[in-house]
A = this chain, B = another copy of it.
Amino acid sequence: MASGLPPSQEEYLPRIHFHLQLAELKDKLLAMAALSQQAVESAVDAWLQRDTGLCQYVRDNETAINSAQREVDEMAYELLAKEQPMAIDLRFILAVIKINADLERIGDIAVSIAVRTLDLVDQESSDLPVDLASMGDFATRMIRTAIQSLLDGDVPVAESVLDMDDEIDRMNRVAITDLTRRIQEHPECADLALPAILISRNLERIADHATNIATDVIFWVRGADVRHQLSLAVD
Known: A184-B187, A184-B188, A185-B187. A90 touches B98 (CB 8 A): no
Tell me which residues across on chain B come within 8 A of A70, comparing CB atoms.
Answer: 225, 227-228
A91–B90 Cα gap in the complex (Å)?
15
A74→B187 contact, CB < 8 A: no
Is B81's CB under 8 angstroms from A90's CB? Answer: yes
A74: contacting residue among B86, B87, B184, B225, CB under 8 A: B225
* Chain B residues with CB under 8 A of A191: 180, 184
The answer to whether B201 touches A190, judged by C-beta atoms less than 8 angstroms apart, is: no
List the B side residues contacting A174 at CB < 8 Å.
Answer: none
B residues less than 8 Å from A183 (CB atoms): 183, 187, 190, 194
Chain A interface size range: 35 or more
Contact with B along A70-101 (1 / 0, CB 8 A): 10011001001100101100110010011001
Q: How does the 8 Å CB contact mask read for A85-119 relative to B, with 1 for contact and 0 for none?
A: 01100110010011001000000000000000000
A46 on the interface (CB 8 Å rule)? no
Docked CA distance A184–B182 (Å): 11
| Chain B residues within 8 Å of A176, by CB | 194
Nearest residue (CB) in B for A183 is B190
Provide the bound-state CA to CA distance between A198 and B183, in Å: 15
Q: What are 16 contact pairs spanning A and B, CB under 8 A?
A: A67-B228, A69-B228, A70-B225, A70-B227, A77-B91, A77-B94, A80-B80, A84-B84, A97-B97, A98-B101, A180-B194, A183-B194, A184-B188, A184-B190, A194-B197, A198-B201
